[in-house]
Amino acid sequence: MADKHIDEISGVETTGHEWDGIRELNNPMPRWWVWTFYATIVWGIGYTIAYPAWPMLSEATRGVLGYSSRATVATELADARAVQNVYLEKIAALPLADIQADKELHQFAVAGGASAFKVNCAQCHGSGAAGGPGFPNLNDDDWLWGGDIESIHATITHGIRYDGDADSRISEMPAYAEILQPNEVREVAAYVVSLTGTPSNADLVAPGRQVFADNCAACHGDDAKGSREFGAPNLADAIWLKGEGETAIARQVAQPKHGQMPGWGERLGDATVKQLAVYVHSLGGGE
């Protein structure tokens, strides 16, 4: 039996450990702490009996109270859907103008549209709907097909250049590399840049104006402010979808890139599409 080590100052037995002249006293734990520790053991055993706890081959023990967190979540989700369905049924039945006029319904639609946007639209338009190269900014007032809520709803429902919907928005600019001479492409690009007040090659602007009148004005208009009938963009507002500057514009004139958006009507249903339309219209650029 090992000798006991008694601390000379306190007279208390030590554990026998020493570090740098410091010895650990072997005082007993406080009685309240010991009983608390025992109580937690009893509580833990009781908890595993009352609630699901021990893993078995196919499932965990169910517990004598029959509690299931999964069932609780399922019930809460069902209750939430029941509340949502009241609003969703109203949204599906009402015109967009009536949804906007109802403050409570409008708030619900904006919140639901924001959620649907993050899941289905943010991948292209960005989480803040600011877009990017080739993907339109939905916060500004530059709309190819119209920025009123009915037009936004139609665009979301049927898509753009989407083969799966006969009512999809369709527009396509021809590849002018096959129609114009290379110098004419550069001239019209210089003219388009000049429309925004941006400095461009002055020697090319005058002939570019004539090239524009002969080939582009039919869709973009004589003033180059575009046409929603054709989905032709405004070229005089300095908002560029495919890139700015003479080089980028010349490239788009010669070999245009045409974006595509699927029609979301069949995928999401009318109520969700309406919520998306209300949300996008609320971002600040809606007309």
Per the annotation, where are the binding residues for heme c? 121, 124-125, 173, 216, 219-220, 261
103-120 and 69-93 helices cross at what angle (nearest 10)? 110
Instruction: List CB contacts of 245: < 8 A, sequence separation 6 or more.
Output: 193
Query: For residues 210 and 221, is the Cβ–Cβ distance under 8 A?
Result: no
What are phi and psi for residue 246, nearest 5 degrees?
Answer: -60, -40
CA angle, 118 then 121 then 122, to 5°: 55
Instruction: List CB contacts of 219: < 8 A, sequence separation 6 or more.
Output: 173, 227, 230, 232
Binding residue positions: 121, 124-125, 173, 216, 219-220, 261
Give which of 117, 86, 87, 97 is closest to 268, Cα–Cα.
Answer: 117
Query: For residues 265 and 152, is the Cβ–Cβ distance under 8 A?
Result: no
Instruction: List CB contacts of 65: < 8 A, sequence separation 6 or more.
Output: 50, 51
CA–CA gap between residue 109 and residue 279 (Å, rounded): 7
